[in-house]
Amino acid sequence: MNDHSVDIKAMENIFNHMVSVIDQSKNDIFIISEQSRRNYEDLQNELQSVKEDISRVIGEGDALEESTRKSRGHLANMSKDFINYSEEEVRKSYEAANELLVRLSINRMEEKQLRIRRDELERQLVSVLDTIERADQLVSQVTTIITYLTSDLKNVGEALETARHTKDFSIRIIQAQEEERKRLSRDIHDGPAQMLANVLIRSGLIEKIYNEKGSEQAFEELSSLKEMVRNALSEVRRIIYNLRPMALDDLGLIPTLKKYLLTIGEYERNTTIHFQTHGSEQRLDSNIEVSIFRLVQEAVSNAIRHGKSKDVWVKIEWLHGIMNIIIKDNGLGFDKKEVKEKSFGLIGMRERIDLLKGEMKIVSSPENGAVIFIQIPLEDEIE
């Protein structure tokens, strides 16, 4: 028996080494992603500079072309009345005209080179952005693998007994967690992190303004800085609220939805959100209320972000043993065949509805907005 027994210690060493190598690979991919982001920003800055140079060169070229036209007209007049001009005057006029032609030729060559560089930078930006997206996907996938290995397979004996039943479900949960973490990190990076970086820059600017222009202008800049800090604080509160509305456990689904949609309406000034509820509200299991809240949250978010909707209507109907949810917008709409395989938001919504034993129907086409019908059973026990 001993000859055929498994060396658990050796397996653990191999396993730990494998996890370490994968984790190092994830860090390497992350470094590549960050380097690509910095490269992307540098390329964007250079592209902006090149575009400004193109505008400048075109302006100079137009002025040179006008000067050249006038110079040619002057030479034509001199040719008609050659006898009234000295040899020196004729020579200077020809030299001036020739210099303008040379400068115009150089200008056109510079414009051509700048346009070539602009096109090259735009191609590089597309390529670098593709690299960043691929790197982000790889980091997410590798993190999922590491989490799965360390959380579900570290105890090899137990994992072998339950892997057939739990593997698929565990991976789906971990992937959902990683997607949520990625979304949260982007929210923080694009919102509070950027705002706080601007606060740091502006605080240094205030000191400079105070030293150079006095306290009055510095005070004006300080007022602007206070508003920026206030916006950053508001954005942090929004992110915290999106993680899990604390009012959901205390107040229930409908009051929390009203508060959430009102808050969204305050942030999204270009969108008006209309909310209606019919029937007798009832408290549901906490997990069910959270799932329904997330369904409405995702649908409204899609209507605003992707649909660019001016109006969003949310309607909740409490019927006998059934809840109907209708989310309608007047936005850009979409082609369901094209979006079906690409929209993680819609895929996540369908998975939640499947867990709730509900049904979802989407009616949409380009430029015609979208309507989402969701029906959730309330009488049967939802596991």
Under 8 Å between Cβ of 19 and 149: yes
Residues 361 and 223 in one domain: no
Residue type (1 letter), 305: R
Residues 361 and 281 in one domain: yes
The closest alpha carbon to 271, from 231, 296, 302, 243, belongs to 302
Domain boundary among 243, 273, 291: 243
Under 8 Å between Cβ of 253 and 281: yes
- In a domain, residue 382? The reply is no
Residues 134 and 219 in one domain: no
Residues 149 and 14 in one domain: yes
- In a domain, residue 58? The reply is yes
Residues 93 and 10 in one domain: yes
In the chain, what is the straight-line distance between the N-terminal and C-terminal CA atoms, in Å? 44
Residues 6+ apart with CB under 8 A from 147: 174, 177, 178
List the Cα angle 218/220/226 in 5-degree steps.
Answer: 100
Residues 90 and 118 in one domain: yes
- In a domain, residue 87? The reply is yes
Task: Give the count of domains, the chain.
Answer: 3
Report the CATH number at residue 288: 3.30.565.10
C-alpha to C-alpha distance for 184 and 186, rounded to whole angstroms: 5
The closest alpha carbon to 228, from 191, 260, 184, belongs to 191
Report the CATH number at residue 66: 1.10.287.2610
Taking each continuous run of H as one helix and of E as one strand, the counts in the chain are 10, 5
Residues 110 and 125 in one domain: yes
Domain boundary among 107, 123, 154: 154
In the block, tokens 């993190």 appear at 143
- In a domain, residue 339? The reply is yes
Residues 252 and 238 in one domain: no
- In a domain, residue 383? The reply is no
Residues 217 and 334 in one domain: no
Residues 339 and 201 in one domain: no
The pLDDT tens digits along the chain (383 residues) read 444 444 556 766 776 777 777 777 777 777 887 888 888 888 888 888 888 998 898 999 888 888 888 888 887 877 777 777 777 877 888 888 888 888 888 988 988 999 999 999 889 888 888 888 887 777 777 777 766 666 555 555 454 444 444 445 455 555 555 666 666 666 666 666 677 777 777 777 777 777 777 777 777 777 777 777 777 776 676 666 666 565 677 788 999 899 888 888 887 888 999 999 999 888 888 888 888 998 998 899 889 888 889 999 999 999 988 999 999 999 988 877 665 544 556 777 888 888 889 999 999 888 888 999 999 998 654 44
Report the CATH number at residue 205: 1.20.5
C-alpha to C-alpha distance for 332 and 354, rounded to whole angstroms: 27
Cβ neighbours, 10 Å, residue 195: 19
Residues 6+ apart with CB under 8 A from 270: 310
Residues 44 and 99 in one domain: yes
Domain boundary among 154, 187, 204: 154
Residue 121: which domain range? 2-154
C-alpha to C-alpha distance for 276 and 260, rounded to whole angstroms: 14
Cα dist from 320 to 58, 60, 157, 280, 375, whole Å: 71, 75, 48, 10, 12
Residues 251 and 313 in one domain: yes
Q: Strand locations in the chain, DSSP E?
A: 272-278, 311-319, 322-329, 359-364, 370-377
- Phi/psi class of residue 257: alpha, beta or left (left: φ > 0; alpha: ψ in -120 to 50)? alpha
The closest alpha carbon to 261, from 312, 329, 305, belongs to 312
Following CA atoms 189, 192, 195, 197 in sequence, which dihedral angle do they give, to the nearest 10 degrees? -60
Residues 6+ apart with CB under 8 A from 166: 152
C-alpha to C-alpha distance for 98 and 92, rounded to whole angstroms: 10
- In a domain, residue 314? The reply is yes
| Residue 114 phi, psi (nearest 5) | -65, -40
Residue type (1 letter), 25: S
- In a domain, residue 292? The reply is yes
Residue type (1 letter), 111: E
The DSSP code sequence of 341-381 is: TT-HHHHHHHHHHHHTT-EEEEEE-TTS-EEEEEEEESSSP
- In a domain, residue 161? The reply is no
Under 8 Å between Cβ of 338 and 357: no
